[in-house]
Amino acid sequence: MRDRIHSQVAFHCEFMTLPTMRKFLPMLLCLSGIASAQQIKVEDIYAKYCSGCHGAKFEGGQGGILVDGVWKHGSTDAEIAKTITKGNLQLGMVPWEGILTGDQIRSLVIFLREKEKQTLAKGMSFPKPSPDKVTKTELHDYRIETLVESGIKDPWAIAFLPDGRKLLTEKSGRLRFITADGKLDPKEIEGIPAVIEHGQGGLMEVAVHPDYAKNGWVYLGLSDGTREKREGGKDEVRCITAVVRGKIKGHKWTEQEWIYRPDPKFRSGAGVHFGTRFVFDKGYIYFVIGERGGLMEVQDLSLPNGKIHRLHDDGRVPADNPFVKTKDAIPGIWSYGHRNPQGLAMDARDGTLYSTEHGPRGGDELNLIKPGANYGWPIVTLGMNYDGMPMSYRGPDGKEILSVTEKEGMEEPVAFWLPSIAVCGLDFYTGDKFSKWKNDLLVGALAQQEIRRLRIEDKKVVSQEIILKDIGRVRDVAMGPDGLIYVILNGPDRLVRIVPAGK
Ligand code: HEC
């Protein structure tokens, strides 16, 4: 079977420059959001307000699948209506009260019930990549091999060991081996730190030290904190992203050392935006702590959230970090003003560090990371709120201030995506199997279920192509030492790899 992915090269960063984009922003927001929600059909309400998080095809996303018969927050019509009305900001569910009318919320419940019935009747079906299918792209043709398709839940990241095995994290807190021939080792690795699985957080990043063959260090990024049971109510959770390293002996995690374990006072109950992702370079580790929903906290250098950090790979603070001499600043901070970067990669050609950052609705960004720079969240953004309202935040005096699209002293993105594609996972392709993709940046996307290939010249994106589409939400994309491209998919949870076919 042959199939062509159209080379839709004219994506947002080419067809619209930043200044043009700014001029048309109010109109675009009006088109993609909703100025008045009063007279629209329930299908359109779902498409416009809910699909960004619950999936255009009801496949789930940042918010769960709403049509699989599983209702975590109450399964009666009244309970579902209440969840929609009151939301759950801790977990990232928007309260729709005041935006949608009572009638509209009631029709959403009916609509979801209909869809639930239809889906349960025919069984959930997801596209499965066929091993014989060749996908043609501009420069290379490839096939997809499915390595693992059962036994894993919410896989998050992959790392490669010199003996051909791989390490795979699952959000629930399991660290697994994938054997050299690509099979899931049923026995999990025991003794890693307790992980607080909460909303989007849990066990996330895994990476091996560049000198792993000599030193054996494995690094993990996880949600660290406490969970206390409360009588008859919700658990009391406090957590934040932390970085730890250890060595794996057999199936045991040993010699553990915390690289960065934020003070417990920085933990929060929010279930959103944990960041993570590591890059190693010249004895340093770079990592991300997402903003945890904390708006202006991102601009506060005495807090670790909403920042990209740089430490020596043993956790010491480098003496030349940009804020080591700033009073009360967290000394590991490398750059700030970030919302939720979940892609981090370095261009080996010139050592430039890039991050992809989840924006609000319509504000996903590719950023070039410079020491000490401010990336502007929530003061500057091209996106808007999930409810279609402009982004705003509270100033020091508590007054509401509208976000702007540019501001002196705040970095502009190298590229942006409107609508948001939900960027997650990022890697430069440096192998030989796909030689014409050499030094291209591979960008994973959850909501749009795709991988984009960005050609970068002189630190600018000169072209962009979708090379993979619609086989699941892309959580991580990583080039293996074998030059093949490994892709972690969520919903359906799978590990697949892209292998050359012909061209
Ligand atoms: C910004 C993202 C976001 C948007 C937009 C959003 N939701 Fe949610 N929703 C969530 C999250 C996160 C949860 C909690 C998931 C969990 O508990 O794991 C949730 C939970 C829910 C639940 C409870 C599901 C259960 O298992 O009990 C319902 C019902 C729901 N959403 C309906 C809606 C509807 C209807 C809309 C549109 C009007 C909507 N949501 C828009 C993020 C979102």
Domains of the chain, each with CATH number or no CATH: 37-122 (1.10.760.10), 134-500 (2.120.10.30)
Q: Which of 54, 140, 209, 273 is catalytic?
A: 273
Residue 219's closest CA among 331, 330, 156, 313?
313
Task: Using the mean position of ligand 1's atoms as its centre, give its distance from the Cα of residue 6 in Å.
Answer: 33
329 SS3 class:
coil
Per DSSP, what are the bridge partners of residue 392?
Answer: 402
What pLDDT is stored for residue 32 in this prediction? Answer: 43
Q: How confident is the model at residue 304 (pLDDT cuts 50, 70, 90)?
A: very high
Taking 90 as the threshold, does the pLDDT of residue 444 lie above it? yes
Residue 497's closest CA among 149, 136, 138, 173?
149
Q: What is the mean pLDDT of residues 402-423?
A: 89
Query: Rounded CA gap, 74 and 414, in Å?
Result: 43
Q: Which residues line ligand 1 (CB under 6 A)?
A: 49-50, 52-54, 62-64, 66, 71-73, 80, 83-84, 88, 91-94, 96, 108, 386
Q: How confident is the model at residue 39 (pLDDT cuts 50, 70, 90)?
A: low
Residue 160's closest CA among 179, 174, 144?
179
Q: What is the mean pLDDT of residues 146-162?
A: 96
Task: Using the mean position of ligand 1's atoms as its centre, give its distance from the Cα of residue 89 in Å.
Answer: 10
Taking 80 as the threshold, does the pLDDT of residue 358 lie above it? yes
Taking 70 as the threshold, does the pLDDT of residue 145 lie above it? yes
Residue 428's closest CA among 501, 326, 339, 356?
356
Taking 50 as the threshold, does the pLDDT of residue 354 lie above it? yes
Give the atom of ligand 1 at the shortest distance from the alpha carbon of 62.
12
Annotation says 273 is catalytic: yes
Task: Using the mean position of ligand 1's atoms as its centre, give its distance from the Cα of residue 87 in Å.
Answer: 7
Q: Starting at the earlier edge strand, list the strands of the sheet with 141-148.
A: 2-4, 134-136, 141-148, 494-500, 485-490, 473-479
What pLDDT is stored for residue 248 in this prediction? Answer: 98
Tokens of 58: 């009801």
- Return the percent helix, strand and coil in the chain, to nearest 5: 15, 35, 45
Is residue 274 within 8 Å of residue 242, measured between CB atoms?
Answer: no
Q: What letter represents residue 23's amino acid?
A: K
Give the atom of ligand 1 at the shortest distance from the alpha carbon of 52.
5
Query: Where do runs of H (alpha helix) occur along 156-301?
Result: 212-215
Per DSSP, what are the bridge partners of residue 243?
Answer: 221, 260
Those residues whose C-beta lies under 8 Å from the C-beta of residue 304, and which sit 6 or more positions away, are 240, 260, 262, 266, 289, 330, 332, 333
CA dihedral (41, 46, 49, 52) positive or negative = negative
Q: Whose CA is nearest to atom 15 of ligand 1?
A: 63
72, 89, 93, 361, best to mutate for ligand 1 pocket (most atoms within 8 Å of CB): 93
Task: Using the mean position of ligand 1's atoms as its centre, give its distance from the Cα of residue 277 in Å.
Answer: 26
Q: Whose CA is nearest to atom 41 of ligand 1?
A: 50
Q: What is the mean pLDDT of residues 182-195?
A: 97
What pLDDT is stored for residue 21 in this prediction? Answer: 54
192 SS3 class:
coil
Angle at the Cα of 474 from the Cα atoms of 124 and 430, rounded to 5 degrees: 150
pTM tops 0.85 = no
Taking 50 as the threshold, does the pLDDT of residue 5 lie above it? no
Task: Using the mean position of ligand 1's atoms as its centre, give its distance from the Cα of residue 44 in Å.
Answer: 16
